[in-house]
Amino acid sequence: MNLSILRTLWFIYLVLCCLLFHPPLHHALSFNFYNFFNSSLILNGTAVIENGILSLSRNSANNTAGGRAVYSEQLHLYDPITGNSTDFTTQFSFQISTVTEPGQDGLAFFLAPNGSLLPEYASGGCLALFSRCDDFTIPRKELVAVEFDTYSNSWDETDKEHVGININSIKSLIKQDLNQTMKDGARVDAIIRYDSKAINLSVSWSLHDGPFVSLSHRINLTKSLPERVSIGFAAGSAYFFQTHEILSWGFATELSPAVPGSTSSTFSAGLIVGCTVGGIFLVCGIVLVFVFVWRKRSRGKGKESVKNGDFMEQEIEHTGLRRFSYNELVRATNGFAEEGKLGEGGFGVVYKGFLSEFKQFAAVKKVSRPSDQGKKAGRTLLKWEVRYKIALGLASALLYLHEESGQYVVHRDIKSSNIMLDSEFNAKLGDFGLARLMDEEARVKTTALAGTWGYIAPEYASTGKATKGSDVFSFGIVALEIACGKKSTEAKYEGPHVPIAGWVWESYGNERLYEVVDERLCLKFDMKEMECLLIVGLWCAHPDQSLRPSIRQAIQVLHFDAPLPNLPKKMPVANYNEPAAPQASTDLAATISFSSINVGR
């Protein structure tokens, strides 16, 4: 079948679907600005970008300021035809600094149509949101804001700095007074979420690295705002001048399903006609595509086996393991004899074999061709709650090996691919083929380096001695992978350390730790847990083994039973000096024979 004919048929089908069944499109909006050097912002008034920081207020000749900055693309808040509404989460950091005591007035995150247009006479307490905001006889509409107010105006009904939620007015519908100041130049972290199903707008904030405080209000944004709105920041200051700077900003949307029965009859009729006519072409197209794909797969079977082989080579690269030829394994298993079959799993069949060269029995797995199970196993994006649970589960398994199993065990190959999950996402640590039993004084020294490149502690790579500390290092790398969503060697870092550790430590030293967070989480994570896991990961992956925690100490911090460690801003140099330790005896170096540890004890 000619490929051009298939493309033509597919094009005709798509055209029919577009003509007969044309539901309105809903575009997800997502971005992250860790600085504003190359940001897509529209600035107005006194707003400028200086040294990668968005400054909303600059001191003018008359000592007043009012500035706005909005994202260049509008937010599609809801679809009037389908009834679908948009949930969103925005996270940003800012700082307010007083120039002339006592300092006034504040900044706001807002949603409004044509939000880049700065109203006249909107400086000072109007926060660049409304013109002549103190005249409450003027009707206002179509603006929702969350204000961070540092000055008590006549309409505020409070004499304290406060956070408030405003709808079509400079007066807050609901507000929370603050016990600490926001205008001392310290960083303030804020998260604003809108849940269209619960019709709830909430804001959480943290001052001076303290705990987050929350404020929420039930509001249906579809009743207060048009279908498409601008999103951004506004700030104002007057006689007692202060500056307002946005340090970072992230935004992400999620489509909420429509309420049943809200779809219009026009949409339903289009759906019926479109599905009927388009379905005829679809059936014909499926038959043609099936024939084409079947032929293509038949020609590609040879290439598939080569790809599978390359994948397996990458898995054992840098491990130091002995490779056996296929003929050696055939002889060891007596031709993969059926009577030597030990078991069968998703990857293939396991046989009992005897390696005459080493005079040892071994389990030999004959991998099915093709076996894509391993490559497909980790493709589902895990939510943050599940990720943190996995990190705790892995730490618990390591605690059992190191301290609770009587004679402690060094695993030597802790990595992400050796963590298995059950149906409830409980973590199990597996693949104990490299593990060693030890006593409290012994160290394991190997002639060939075991483990996986990217997870091996620097002192282990240098001396060949495996310890509890080298296992803790590997745990730290896995913890960073869980938080960052990257493999240990994928991070963009050029230096002597494991790439992901060096990359995260650089961001930690620059006080921009959240730059390394997995963007696919779309800001949906607990900030304290994220910070905790990243810092514990760095602590465990410390280049100096004498400064790493025990796995018990790491667990205490992860459970918030102990404070976060105070790490240096710059990643230290590895230190391999340690007191001499006796070598492990032959009987203490016996290989572990079990296959996994269930963490859910």
**So which residues are the catalytic ones?**
413
Which residues is 121 bridged to in the sheet?
Answer: none
Spell out where 142-227 has E strands. Answer: 144-149, 162-167, 172-177, 184-195, 200-207, 213-218
How many Å apart are CA 437 and CA 426, to the nearest integer? 25
Residue among 240, 245, 301 nearest 102 (CA): 240
Residue reference for tokens 């597996």: 430
**Is 91:190 a contact under the CB 8 Å cutoff?**
yes
- The letter for the amino acid at 348 is G
Cα distances from 560 to residues 373, 511, 527, 532, in angstroms, run: 37, 21, 13, 8
Tokens representing 278 are: 């388009």
Q: Give the SS3 label for residue 576.
A: coil
The span from the CA of 362 to the CA of 331, in Å, is 12
Instruction: Report how far residue 217's alpha carbon sits from residue 201's, in angstroms, rounded to the nearest whole number.
Output: 5
Q: Which is nearest to 177 in space by CA: 164, 188, 162?
A: 162
- Strand 436-437 relative to strand 444-445, pairing: unpaired
Per-residue tokens: 439: 């006593």
Q: How many CB atoms lie within 10 A of CB 249?
A: 25
Using an 8 Å Cβ cutoff, are 599 and 397 in contact? yes
- For tokens 């619960």, name the residue: 198
Token reading at 446? 């190997």
CA distances from 558 to 79, 393, 476, 509, 531 (A): 42, 11, 12, 21, 10
Q: Count each helix (H run) and each strand (E run) in the chain, helices first.
A: 11, 26
Question: Which residues, 6 or more positions from 540, have their beta carbon under 8 angstroms from its beta carbon?
Answer: 472, 473, 475, 476, 479, 548, 549, 554
DSSP reduced 3-state for 328: helix
Residue 366 labelled as part of a binding site: yes
Peptide bond into 105 cis (omega under 30): yes
| CB of 484 closer than 8 Å to CB of 516 | yes
Cross-strand bridge partners of residue 305? none
Feature table: binding site for ATP? 366
